[in-house]
Amino acid sequence: MKVLVIGGGGRCHAIVDALGRSPRVTKIWCAPGNAGIARQAECVPLRDTDVEGLLAFARREGADLTVVGPESALAAGIVDAFRAAGLRIFGPTQAAARIETSKRFAKELMLRYAVPTAAYRVFSDYGEAADYVRSQPLPAVLKYDGLAAGKGVVIARTPGEADAALRDMLLDDRFGHGQVVVEEFMEGPEFSLMCFVAGRRVVPMALAQDHKRAYDGDRGPNTGGMGACSPLPFITPEEERWAVEHVMQPVADALADEGCPFTGVLYGGLMRTRDGIRVVEFNARFGDPETEVVLPRLESDFFEACMAVAEGREPGPLRWRDEATLGIVLASEGYPGPCEKGAEIRGAEDTGALVYHMGTALRDGRLVTAGGRVLIVVGRGATLAEARDRALEAAGRIGCDRLFYRRDIGAQALGGKKLLPLRETD
Ligand code: AMP
Ligand code: GLY
């Protein structure tokens, strides 16, 4: 079987790696891929939103399956285009992907189908939004309605911060013209529940936790994710079952009822609050960096699971290795702000751990940094503590003085830290 993977970060590297373990997969292309992926797949210089180009490529080369990584490709309608052309593709249609691409759509669906989430109001007028926010307790949770690369959420702790954010979102059109969802503030530990979904069939994957803040102790700016770990001892099997039954299954059913059945990975960003488990957000794809710690634990054939979903069949049951994984992201100095690229990286091949490339390139045969997040080093062990120690040791072996990383990934799961919410601002 020949598989085309769309995307080029650490998540796609983990997807390519997992596909490569399947005895049925004989060829993997990745568009556009990166320097690390190039060792395990043939990279194709096509952008992930170049629907026409990707479709022409898949047709010409006879790809048996296409697996979509990033939301940008989903939002561009890649699944609709491939399906219309009769090609097998793993991912939701543009209409089903609204569960991620439109915060308003997601909120209205949850309200209609009684899926537990924070109370909310939607505004497009700056004055009305500002009046409403002033009448509510702080902190205020403000979410731009649309794709904003994870940067469209502001947790404002002062009236000044709230006003600045509303101006940014509704007056200055920083992300384009849109609406703002104002939400009730929730508190509690967060966790990610990714499920394979084929219409009404929902098969959960192992739980994982992302670490969004840039620095140790959950300080600093919000990022695309600085590390992840799996499993999560602080979530009980009963809580996990509850989340599948009361959140993931009802949403899959709701999307089917609304005429846009979901196929692909439905990602629940969940929080255990005092009042029970609540939805923070949904994504319509594999999480990043959760995928980098979850897929290495999958014992079942990943290709078979993706193929089943793409054909509308049940992908389960899935078997998971009884081991822990913990991934540490090495990011360029300055990330998530502007950062320098092109710094040489040494020793990424022999760390003794799994290393997935997030933003790297080859220059004159040498590996160099090519993005904000550069590598993720994944340690595995019988326990999370062992996985963490291995990941830290491996991260320390990578030679590059322009990279930084967090040393406390997994602190909450390891129980070394009170189960405080991961805060947006200090
Ligand atoms: P989102 O893009 O919706 O996942 O939001 C990004 C981050 O903001 C989440 O991972 C949470 O840490 C935080 N967050 C979002 N919504 C809320 C909320 N209603 N209450 C508290 N924190 C939130
Ligand atoms: N880890 C959060 C995301 O993938 O959006």
Instruction: Return the bridge partners of 344, or none.
Output: 368
Omega within 30 of 0 (cis) for the link into 336: yes
Q: Which ligand is nearest to the CA of 224?
A: 2
Q: What pLDDT tens digit does each residue of the chain (426 aa) get? A: 999 999 999 999 999 999 999 999 999 999 999 999 999 999 999 999 999 999 999 999 999 999 999 999 999 999 999 999 999 999 999 999 999 998 889 999 999 999 999 999 999 899 999 999 999 999 999 988 765 544 478 899 999 999 999 998 888 766 556 789 899 999 999 999 999 999 999 999 999 999 999 999 999 988 999 999 999 999 999 999 999 999 999 999 999 999 999 999 999 999 999 999 999 999 999 999 999 999 999 999 999 999 999 999 999 789 999 999 999 999 999 999 999 999 999 999 889 999 999 999 999 999 999 999 999 999 999 999 999 999 999 999 999 889 999 999 999 999 865 544 444 433
Dihedral sign for Cα atoms in the order 25, 31, 36, 39: positive
3-state secondary structure of 46: coil
Q: Domains of the chain: which residue ranges? A: 2-98, 119-183
Q: Which ligand is nearest to the CA of 193?
A: 2
Contact present, 294 and 202 (Cβ < 8 Å): no
Instruction: Give residue 156 CA to ligand 1 midpoint distance, Å.
Output: 12
Dihedral sign for Cα atoms in the order 324, 330, 331, 333: positive
Contact present, 271 and 278 (Cβ < 8 Å): yes
Asked if residue 100 has its Cβ within 6 Å of ligand 2, the reply is no
Architecture of domain 119-183: 2-Layer Sandwich (3.30)
Collect all residues with Cβ–Cβ distance below 8 Å to 142 and sequence separation of at least 6.
133, 153, 154, 155, 156, 162, 165, 166, 169, 180, 181, 182, 183
Question: Which of the 8 DSSP states describes residue 296?
Answer: G
Asked if residue 190 has its Cβ within 6 Å of ligand 2, the reply is no
- CATH class name, domain 2-98: alpha beta
Pocket test for ligand 2, best of 99, 191, 210 (most atoms within 8 A of CB): 210
Pocket test for ligand 1, best of 280, 281, 290 (most atoms within 8 A of CB): 280
Q: Which ligand is nearest to the CA of 189?
A: 1
Contact present, 285 and 71 (Cβ < 8 Å): yes
Residues with CB under 6 A from ligand 1: 118, 141, 143, 150, 153, 155, 183, 185-186, 190, 212, 269, 280-281, 422, 424
At position 405, the amino acid (one-letter code) is Y
Token pair, residue 246, equals 């009361």
Place of tokens 């091949």: 349
Asked if residue 210 has its Cβ within 6 Å of ligand 2, the reply is yes
3-state secondary structure of 210: strand
